[in-house]
């Protein structure tokens, strides 16, 4: 690749822009023959720019192992972890980065944003103050300081690309609290109580991407206030013509899932699980309330059939993965464990579709499989006869909002033992 073209791709990544598939492939090819971390790190950042943090994370972790004293590698890994809302792990990487380079302004700024996200304004101010002291001409640090000093007042307009995702999330949750909108964090999403009943699941990543693409003139705080007002008045997805059946998707949840106490429509599912239904649109994903059946004259059977029919049309790739110290990452070759990699929250339910089962059989060779739904964002599988892999999935455990234990998948579907 000509040096000028390579430099153009690097600058595009540094600006936070997403690469095309062809550009990313070209950058990967160059990185494969490069001995240092620079191009490999650019590939990982390009994936983060495209909201593919799950794919970027194993690349960042490999770079950390190969270049443990490289500050930019540590910052890149922290960025990927923050994108996955793994704040504690990100903070650990950042603190180690400060040991490598005490007082580094870039590290201090990210720590400040993280502290702000966690509601620790005093700690955020201390980090920002140190960053400004180290580099009085750092515009981003001064912008953070001004916003912290302004408290609840709207900040002065600023270049939109300077707003990091953790800062955006902090501004949004603060605005929701001021607006009196009931919400709680759930992984990378927010669960918001809808004005018309039920619960809406808000994808913060998509809102942040929309904010970066079309910034408003009034700054981050004003934008967050307007967004909170919209979320506070969000309907349940039932309009004058009824439920938009084409946007329905089923999701599997553990028995007693919290949304069931907030009016969401559900039915008993396999293996003691419950099937809920979500309504998608360009910006929001929300649980369909039980009241939708009355408001639209639909039956539970009709809703259920439409949701599964929609999911049937969108199977996801099945890839080998490895589990390293509790982390799931893609493997280059057969590992004994596979993951359904849709990454959209529906992978557990996909296991019950015929189209996904064909993908599974092609990847695993068919037969009885053990299944872990312990993590909401990924469905993991191994052959039931593979004792080592079964033990690995068992040892992985489950997240607080995941399904405990392992399930069995065979010709009869998904069931517990």
Confidence at residue 388, expressed as pLDDT on a 0 to 100 scale: 93
| β-strands 284-287, 318-324 pairing | unpaired
Q: Residue 231: which of 269, 290, 190 has the closest Cα? A: 190
How many domains does the chain divide into? 4
Q: Is 324 exposed, middle or buried (0-12, 13-18, 19+ CB in 10 A)?
A: exposed
Residue pair 333/307 in contact by the 8 Å Cβ criterion: no
What local confidence, expressed as pLDDT, does residue 160 receive?
Answer: 44
Q: Which of 232, 250, 285 is the last residue of a domain?
A: 232
pLDDT tens-digit series, residues 156-177: 444 444 677 778 888 888 888 8
Residue 113's CATH number: 1.25.40.10
Same structural domain, 406 and 331: yes
Within a domain: residue 176? yes
User: Same structural domain for residues 272 and 332?
Assistant: no
| Mean pLDDT estimate for the chain | 82
pLDDT in tens, the chain (417 residues): 788 888 888 888 887 888 888 888 888 988 888 888 888 999 999 998 888 888 889 999 988 888 888 888 888 888 888 888 788 888 888 888 888 888 888 888 888 888 877 777 788 888 888 888 877 777 777 777 777 776 443 444 444 446 777 788 888 888 888 888 888 776 667 777 766 555 666 777 778 877 776 655 567 888 888 888 877 766 555 544 456 788 899 999 988 776 554 678 899 999 999 999 987 754 566 788 887 787 677 899 999 999 999 999 999 999 999 988 778 888 878 889 999 988 778 899 999 999 999 999 999 998 999 999 998 778 999 999 999 999 999 999 888 778 999 999 998 789 987
Domain membership of residue 157 (yes or no) is no
Q: Are residues 49 and 141 in the same domain?
A: yes
Whether residue 381 sits in one domain with residue 256? no
**Boundaries of domain holding 18:** 3-152+163-168
For β-strands 327-330 and 242-243, DSSP reports them as: unpaired
Query: And the tokens for 36?
Result: 């240092």
Inside any domain, residue 216: yes
* CA pseudo-torsion sign 124, 169, 324, 400: positive
Is 200 among the domain residues? yes
Domain boundary pick from 268, 285, 312 = 312
In a domain, 158, yes or no: no
**86 & 189 share domain:** no
Long-range CB pairs of 340-344 (<8 Å, 24+ gap) are 340/316, 340/378, 340/379, 340/381, 341/316, 341/317, 341/378, 342/314, 342/316, 342/317, 343/54, 343/316, 343/377, 343/378
Claim to verify: residue 143 and residue 119 sit in the same structural domain: yes
My answer on whether 63 and 78 are in the same domain is: yes
Q: What is the pLDDT of residue 241?
A: 45
User: Contact, 318 vs 43, CB < 8 A?
Assistant: no
φ and ψ at residue 183, rounded to 5 degrees: -155, 165
48 and 108 in a single domain? The answer is yes
Q: Please name which of 175, 171, 202, 169 lies closest in space to residue 87, comparing C-alpha atoms.
A: 169
Residue 86 parent element (H or E): none
Residue 292 belongs to some domain of the structure = yes
Same domain, 20 and 126: yes
Residue 369 has a pLDDT of: 96
pTM of this structure: 0.52
Q: Do residue 328 and residue 355 come from a single domain?
A: yes
């Amino acid at each position: 690749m000509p040096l000028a073209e390579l430099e153009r791709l690097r600058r595009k990544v540094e600006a936070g822009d997403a690469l095309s598939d062809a550009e990313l492939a070209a950058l990967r090819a160059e990185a494969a023959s490069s001995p240092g971390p620079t191009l490999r790190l650019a590939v990982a950042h390009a994936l983060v720019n495209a909201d593919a943090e799950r794919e970027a994370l194993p690349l960042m972790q490999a770079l950390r192992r190969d270049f443990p004293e490289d500050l930019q590698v540590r910052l890149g890994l922290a960025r990927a972890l923050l994108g996955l809302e793994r704040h504690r792990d990100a903070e650990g990487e950042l603190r180690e980065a400060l040991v490598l380079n005490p007082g580094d302004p870039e590290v201090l700024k990210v720590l400040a944003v993280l502290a702000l996200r966690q509601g620790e304004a005093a700690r955020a101010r201390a980090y920002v103050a140190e960053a400004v002291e180290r580099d009085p001409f750092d515009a981003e640090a001064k912008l953070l300081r001004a916003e912290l000093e302004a408290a609840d007042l709207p900040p002065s307009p600023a270049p939109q690309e300077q707003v990091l995702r953790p800062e955006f999330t902090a501004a949004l949750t603060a605005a929701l609290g001021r607006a009196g909108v009931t919400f709680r964090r759930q992984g990378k999403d927010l669960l918001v109580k809808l004005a018309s009943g039920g619960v809406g699941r808000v994808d913060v990543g998509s809102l942040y991407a929309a904010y970066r693409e079309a910034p408003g003139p009034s700054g981050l705080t004003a934008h967050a206030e307007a967004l909170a007002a919209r979320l506070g008045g969000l309907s349940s997805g039932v309009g004058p013509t009824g439920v938009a059946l084409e946007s329905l998707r089923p999701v599997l949840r553990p028995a007693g899932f919290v949304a069931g106490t907030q009016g969401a429509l559900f039915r008993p599912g396999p293996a003691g699980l419950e099937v809920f239904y979500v309504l998608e649109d360009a910006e929001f994903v929300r649980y369909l309330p039980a009241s939708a059946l009355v408001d639209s004259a639909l039956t539970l059977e009709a809703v259920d059939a439409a949701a599964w029919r929609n999911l049937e049309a969108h199977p996801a790739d099945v890839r080998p993965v490895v589990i390293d110290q509790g982390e799931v990452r893609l493997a280059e070759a057969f590992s004994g464990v596979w993951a359904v990699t849709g990454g959209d929250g529906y992978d557990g339910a996909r296991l019950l579709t015929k189209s996904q089962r064909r993908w599974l059989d092609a990847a695993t060779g068919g037969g009885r499989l053990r299944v872990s739904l312990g993590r909401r964002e990924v469905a993991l599988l191994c052959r039931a006869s593979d004792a080592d892999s079964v033990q690995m999935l068992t040892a992985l455990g489950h997240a607080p909002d995941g399904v405990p234990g392992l399930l069995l998948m065979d010709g009869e579907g998904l069931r517990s033992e």
